[in-house]
Amino acid sequence: MAMVQERSSSTALGDFNALVEHLHSVIDTIASQVVNTIDTRDPSLVSDKPSTPASSELLSAFRKFTKLSDEFSSYATSPSEHLTAIAGAFYESTALNVVSELGIADLLGKERVPVNQLAKEANVDEGRLRHVMRMLANRQVFRETEYGSDVFMNNRMSSILLSSHEKNLKGFIGHWSDDGYRSADSTLKAFRPENANKSIFEVHHGMSLWDYFGRPEGVVARERGNRAMVGAEPILHGGLIYDYDWTKHGESATILDVGAGMGGAAIELTRKFPKLRIIMQDKPEVIESAKKFWETNAPECLPRVTMVPHNFFAPQPSQISQLPSPPKVYFLRFVLHDWFEDDCVKILKNIRDVIPSEEAGGRLYIAEILLDRDSDRFKYMVSAHMMNMTGALERKEGEFAEILKRSGFRIMNVHRNKGFISLIEAVPVEASKV
Ligand SMILES: C[S@@+](CC[C@H](N)C(=O)[O-])C[C@H]1O[C@@H](n2cnc3c(N)ncnc32)[C@H](O)[C@@H]1O
């Protein structure tokens, strides 16, 4: 096997200096952005209100920072510590799941509470809870009033574990650190060639995530999964909703949100664009939960939203094209990353069959993570979660181009929103040109 050529020490030093310089400039950008929002970013802030979305510049700089700082620390730490930190990362994950399940943030509320009282109220071992709280406080989740005081309080990070918080992350944490963690146990087994067409979840449970969600014993997991997408919303802010002018197809255009879930994207879109109309489609049981969710959380937007049960593997209902103003804009957020290529093509072909032509304004938007050389740890983690739960992975732009081509679309534009997810804008290709 050919060995990789050793680089000269001057090249290696040059690379390192360039990395340090890059890191400095990213830190400067972050600092200048954070300074503008320092009141809302105060780490000691406890709030059950959604925080102001970070600016696109801040999100973008932060993504770069996480990538560069990982690279930087690999110069500073030993291989053994580096690998051990990766191997042990699940301890932080399980600690977070424990405090989330125990409702520690709710027990704290806006008070400073000694750990012995917390342990009593949660009916758990005091020593273990103390350890978990201190470990998380060390990771900026909760705060110990003074190191060793044994008195803890919520802070800006732990605030989103409050059940009163509109964007509370409890569902997301359970979906990842409990449901995801459990099935990840079968990762190695799922890597065997005979399991290549199954998700890790399916190898573990003997059924797909969607079948599992449809069973009575899967209701908790399904609700967690649904809530996860709403909790994820602040992660996505700053890109999808704020970087893009969704009125460009008309102020009161109708967007058909396919596989809309609880409407995490639709809520933000209808709030930001006050005349936009949305049709949300998802499985019947999800639509039922979504209706309840909107009635409580966004009743003011409901008059502009229609929720319809629909299986995206079936042809679009004929009523869609018979509406007085049928939708020209189709939107899928975090749907295709759940499916292998052939299934993605089936979903998209059903849209291709009803979407108006490019000239008539037909547009397909796909909002997904796009993997590229700048992708940081977080994007790979999301991709690993998809591999676990549904079998698919996050994709590169070229992979989407291929799926779209097979489905009768072509990419018109890729909006690399600052922040986390990108938006692929595609148009139908005339049948004669496919
Ligand atoms: C990862 S979630 C994304 C939800 C939403 N688009 C968002 O970004 O918040 C994928 C969604 O696809 C829905 N889904 C799965 N299979 C479906 C099917 N056959 N027909 C319609 N929706 C389906 C799920 O119920 C889930 O809400």
Residue spans per domain, the chain: 15-85, 88-161, 170-230, 232-433
Mutate to test the pocket of ligand 1, among 211, 224, 335 (most ligand atoms within 8 A of CB): 335
* CA gap 421, 341 in Å, rounded: 20
Strand ranges of the sheet holding 254-258, from the earlier edge strand across to the other edge: 305-309, 277-282, 254-258, 329-333, 363-368, 422-428, 409-415
In 259-294, DSSP assigns E strands to 277-282
Give how far Cα 8 sits from Cα of 12, 15, 72, 75, 383, Å.
6, 11, 19, 16, 35
Nearest atom in ligand 1 to the alpha carbon of residue 313 is: 19
Ligand 1 centre to CA of 259 (Å) is 4
Mutate to test the pocket of ligand 1, among 172, 233, 283, 383 (most ligand atoms within 8 A of CB): 283
**Lookup: tokens for 411:** 């990419």
In a 13 Å sphere around the CA of 359, the CA atoms on its Cβ side amount to 1
Assess whether the C-beta atom of 365 lies below 6 angstroms from ligand 1.
no
Residue 270 C-alpha from the chain's centroid: 20
Assess whether the C-beta atom of 282 lies below 6 angstroms from ligand 1.
yes
* CA gap 172, 230 in Å, rounded: 9
* CA gap 204, 185 in Å, rounded: 8
Ligand 1 centre to CA of 48 (Å) is 27
Assess whether the C-beta atom of 335 lies below 6 angstroms from ligand 1.
yes
| Residue nearest to ligand 1 atom 11, measured at CA | 259
Q: Going residue by residue through the chain (434 aa), what tens digit of pLDDT does each one get?
A: 556 666 778 888 999 999 999 999 999 999 998 888 887 778 888 888 777 767 778 888 888 999 999 999 999 999 999 999 999 999 999 999 999 999 999 999 999 999 999 999 999 999 999 999 999 999 999 999 999 999 999 999 999 999 998 788 998 999 999 999 999 999 999 999 999 999 999 999 999 999 999 888 888 888 888 877 776 766 666 567 777 889 999 999 999 999 999 998 898 899 989 999 999 999 999 999 999 999 988 899 999 999 999 999 999 987 777 777 789 999 999 999 999 999 999 999 999 999 999 999 999 999 999 999 888 898 999 999 999 999 998 999 999 999 999 999 999 999 886 667 889 999 999 876 65
Which CATH class for the 88-161 domain?
mainly alpha
Best CATH choice for the domain 232-433 from the list 3.40.50.150, 3.50.50.60, 3.60.70.12, 3.40.50.720: 3.40.50.150
